[in-house]
């Protein structure tokens, strides 16, 4: 299942606020490169629900933080 809207932008913003690198997230997700994760944040690859849930867990936030209107 894909997540619509600008969730990838909110995910990026939260990651940066927490001082976490794309490389760290990519490694925790088991991605072969940080570019694979960067493509999600930049909207070049669709954000899948399971990935969003895992990133939320890594960042210690709720998945709803990626979906909320509040930025």
pLDDT at position 17 is 97
Q: How far apart are CA 25 and CA 39, in angstroms?
A: 13
Burial of 55 (0-12, 13-18, 19+ CB in 10 A): buried
The token duo for 52 is 């969003």
Domain ranges for the chain: 7-67
Quote the pLDDT of residue 71.
45
What digits encode the pLDDT tens for the residues 43-62? 999 999 999 999 999 999 99
**Cβ atoms < 10 Å from Cβ of 11:** 26
Q: Topology of domain 7-67, per CATH?
A: 434 Repressor (Amino-terminal Domain) (1.10.260)
Low-confidence ranges of the chain (pLDDT < 50): 71
């Amino acid at each position: 299942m894909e997540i619509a809207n600008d969730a990838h932008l909110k995910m990026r913003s939260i990651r940066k606020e927490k001082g976490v690198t794309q490389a760290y997230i990519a490694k925790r997700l088991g991605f072969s490169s940080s570019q694979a994760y960067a493509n999600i944040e930049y909207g070049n690859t669709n954000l899948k629900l399971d990935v969003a849930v895992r990133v939320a867990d890594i960042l210690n936030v709720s998945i709803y933080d990626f979906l909320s209107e509040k930025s």
